[in-house]
Structure 1
Amino acid sequence: MPRPRSLTPTTLATAALAVIDRDGLAGLTMRTVAKEVGMSTMGLYRYVTDRAELERLVVDLVLSQVDTAPPDPAAPWTDRVAAMVRRLRGAVGTHPSVIPLIVAHRHRSERLLGWSETLVGILKEAGLDGPRRVVALRCLLAYVIGALQLDHLGPLAGPGTSVIADLPEFPLMAETAREARGVGVGAEAEAEFDDGLAAILRGMECGHRP
């Protein structure tokens, strides 16, 4: 097997991401990535110390697509927060299998820290400070991650909804499931995400008013 003359962090991350996109996160090993770039497993250790470092490279690659620049300062703060949230969702949603890695390595990602810094700046301008700002940041990040995980692993409008709709022992959930069949399907998925985000932002608005 011919050995590449040199590998850059981006080349390695791209190869690892290709493995994840094709085989899922469980398929990511030093061996599979080495095979992807055409070298021996031991040879790969000349470029990364372990799988954790490889994971961080993947996280950096995916999050490199996130725009961290502040949105239009003339826009309402809720619109600016929504814009930042959609940016993160757009970048991460392209590679949903990577989400667990982003959660695990989020504190080491400069791009995610940059995104968070911009978002926190908007929250500060809106008057959220101290613990309220902490909760707001965590809530928004959790919403993006949770929504993407649900879409990827078990859409709320998927087969599970039909099963719940036929359970007489849970009448309220059955009724809700029947309603859910037509919510968030196809093109409406974006609208469902935006509706949820709007609800969170309304809560933040109420929470920081004098």
Structure 2
Amino acid sequence: MPRPRSLTNDQIAAAALAVIDRDGLPALSMRTVATELDRRTMALYRYVEDREEVECLVVDLALGAVLDRAAAEQPTPRARVLALLELMREAVGAHPGVLPLAIRHHRTCRPALRWRERLLEALTDAGLDGPARAAALHALVAYTIGALELEHQGAAPGPTPDAFPLLAAALATRDTTPAGPAFTAGARTVLDGLGLGLGFG
């Protein structure tokens, strides 16, 4: 008769997330998660196969609760898309170290899959056909990943205005704009560029 489990997936994920939040993603290992749980490293393998499974559990925990919040009440497909993008930003903002894991496991972790499915539902409701819908999804996901990486990577010295005047001015404007409005403005620009402005709500 199998022994009862003394740890749940949520407990393992919470311990791994605590390691990431406190010490950064490079500190994540089977050993550090086991230590966080006050277990021996080898004991952890009774519950998970390897670090990859732990990473997926972390993504499920960090993103699932936020991304499961309904965006369906938004009045238009465009508003639903914007709400979904902002939910992802909120989820990653609470645990920035999880972003690389969400990217790495985007084809297997269910919260990321559900998020993209809901984006596609909104794009479908907007009247986009298969190829246009796929292109729009790629553009929106790429924008979201890039914007969040830039937001959480920390400040870096900018170019000198003498050598790159337009770029320096653009970066100065971006640096003085709060992160939330800047993210939303960028998302709206992407939607407009995809032709999803007029008739999209």
How far, CA to CA, are the matches of 1:89 and 1:129 in structure 2?
Answer: 27
Q: Is contact 1:67–1:87 with CA below 8 Å preserved after alignment? A: no
Out of 158, 173, 176, which is 1:185 matched to? 176
How far, CA to CA, are the matches of 2:29 and 2:196 in structure 1?
Answer: 47
Instruction: Tell me: CA distance 1:15–1:195, structure 2 relative to 1, closer, same or farther (3 Å).
Output: same
Percent identity reads 44
Instruction: Tell me: CA distance 1:160–1:174, structure 2 relative to 1, closer, same or farther (3 Å).
Output: farther
Out of 165, 188, 197, which is 2:187 matched to? 197
**Counterpart amino acid of 2:68?**
D
Partner of 1:21: 21
1:70 Cα deviation after fit = 4.2
Partner of 2:157: 160
Aligned pair count? 194
Q: What's the Cα RMSD here?
A: 2.1
Partner of 1:71: 72
How far, CA to CA, are the matches of 1:77 and 1:17 in structure 2?
Answer: 33
Q: Is contact 1:16–1:54 with CA below 8 Å preserved after alignment? A: yes
How far, CA to CA, are the matches of 1:30 and 1:10 in structure 2?
Answer: 15
**Counterpart amino acid of 2:183?**
F
Q: Is contact 1:96–1:152 with CA below 8 Å preserved after alignment? A: yes
Partner of 2:100: 100
Higher RCO structure (Cα 8 Å, ≥6 apart):
2
SS of the residue 1:93 aligns to: helix
Instruction: Tell me: CA distance 1:107–1:60, structure 2 relative to 1, closer, same or farther (3 Å).
Output: same
Partner of 1:59: 59
How far, CA to CA, are the matches of 1:205 and 1:179 in structure 2?
Answer: 24
Instruction: Tell me: CA distance 1:13–1:78, structure 2 relative to 1, closer, same or farther (3 Å).
Output: same
SS of the residue 1:106 aligns to: coil
1:194 Cα deviation after fit = 1.1
Q: Is contact 2:71–2:83 with CA below 8 Å preserved after alignment? A: no
Instruction: Tell me: CA distance 1:109–1:179, structure 2 relative to 1, closer, same or farther (3 Å).
Output: closer
How far, CA to CA, are the matches of 1:203 and 1:192 in structure 2?
Answer: 16
1:68 Cα deviation after fit = 5.3
**Counterpart amino acid of 1:143?**
Y
Unaligned runs of 5+ in 2: none
How far, CA to CA, are the matches of 2:171 and 2:124 in structure 1?
Answer: 36
Residues 147-191 of structure 1: per-residue CA shift (max 9 Å, x gap): 11111114xxx3422xx125x4xx3x34421442242436x2211
Q: Is contact 2:59–2:101 with CA below 8 Å preserved after alignment? A: yes
Q: Is contact 2:191–2:197 with CA below 8 Å preserved after alignment? A: no
Name the TM-score, length of structure 1 as normaliser.
0.84
Q: Is contact 1:165–1:178 with CA below 8 Å preserved after alignment? A: no
Q: Is contact 1:68–1:118 with CA below 8 Å preserved after alignment? A: no
SS of the residue 1:83 aligns to: helix
How far, CA to CA, are the matches of 1:148 and 1:77 in structure 2?
Answer: 23
